[in-house]
Amino acid sequence: MAIKRFLYCADSHGDLIHDESRRKLLKFAAEWKPHYRIHGGDLWDFAALRGGASPEDKANGISEDYAAGMKFLDEYKPDFLTLGNHDDRIWQHTNNSRDGILKEHCAALVRASEEEFKRRNISFIPYVVGKYLQLPEGGPKFIHGFRSSNVSPAKLHHGDWGSCIHGHVHKPDTYVATHVDGGMSMSAGCIGDIDAMSYANRFPAKMGWRQGWIYGTINDRTGSWHAWHVIKEGDDWISPMGNL
Amino acid sequence: MTSETKKALTGLEWAIAQTIDEPQQEDEFTAEEFSRASNLGITQARNRLDRMTGQGQLSKRKILMDGRQTNLFRKAD
């Protein structure tokens, strides 16, 4: 039996990345030496492409956001990327936009992005409900996340995907299934800067958001897995290994 | 990033810029503004503006204001 280590982070949100989280994560990755690095999506923010984007959002464009996302990819070096709803905006416009010019230019960026992933040996999973990442040894399903409720998000995702690790809600959460077969799901904190995500300043759910990520192990013989949160609480970074 | 990616980004930024609405002009007004100025209730104001638009006295366009699609009216040319 051998133990495979994995590291999962999500929601870095392009140029809204939280620099301290980025530095802590990269240091942790260097020490943990995971066999698999996973980025769980929302690599970019793409505020200028959301429905109802303000003129200011649009005027800010996407270049800095995109470049910051790519810089983080080059530092974190994930093996896998499960695209998130923010990333998916360029795929959505490519497939569904009624604006022909926007559609055409989004399609060009989709092609370029897929080529960038390929050059970096990153396998990506599209933001589609039935698609997920499962590692060769087994373990949980890895997704970005779809449910937006911050009330027991891990339990909600467990109901649809079974044992899984997801991001999307920016709120660390764990659900241990209560049936005989066991199972567990976990919601990760985020690498994006919570304070900078001002669009959510009126959402009470934001009070549950935390900077953080998830790391874990998989038994390569049985596929059983264990995982743990790293969460920033105040000025401290708490993990089962202690204060990082 | 490859030159193809940079080129795609530049193109998309241009395309996004084309979707920025022209801001409200001095001779344009919303139904809320008309309602306040004319002392009419908002529903009555909207009905009157729609009727005048239908009769060709006003022209109408939509812009995004405070995250909501809003009608702007002006005297028809």
pLDDT tens for each residue of A70-118: 999 999 999 999 999 999 999 999 999 888 999 999 999 999 999 999 9
Comparing A54 with B74, the larger pLDDT belongs to B74
Show residues of chain A in contact with B14, CB under 8 Å. 105
A94 vs chain B: nearest CA distance in angstroms?
11
SS3 label, residue A28: helix
Q: Which runs of E-coded beta strand occur in A47-192? A: 80-82, 123-125, 133-135, 138-142, 164-166, 173-176, 184-187
Helix (H) or strand (E) holding B49: helix B42-54
Under DSSP, is residue A103 helix (H, G, I), strand (E, B) or coil? helix
Quick one: closest CA in A to B19, which residue?
A58
Does A1 have pLDDT greater than 80? no
Q: What is the helix (H) or strand (E) element at residue A9, kind and residue range?
A: strand A3-9
Ordered by start, the domain boundaries in chain A are 3-86+121-243
Q: Per-residue confidence at B67, pLDDT binned at 50, 70, 90?
A: low
pLDDT at A179: 82
Q: A178 falls in which pLDDT band (50, 70, 90)?
A: confident
**A3-86+121-243 carries CATH number 3.60.21.10:** yes
Contacts of A116 in chain B (CB under 8 A): 1-2, 5
Q: Sorting pLDDT into bands at 50, 70 and 90, what band is A24?
A: very high
Nearest chain A CA: its distance from B61 CA (Å): 16
For the four alpha carbons of A33, A164, A124 and A84, in that order, the dihedral sign comes to: negative
Cβ-nearest to A105 among B2, B15, B64: B15
* DSSP H helices in A85-152: 88-96, 100-119
Q: Scan for tokens 């709120």, then name that residue.
A: A171
Confidence of residue A57 (pLDDT cuts 50, 70, 90): confident
- CATH number for B27-77: choose from 3.30.420.40, 3.60.70.12, 1.10.10.10, 1.10.10.60: 1.10.10.10
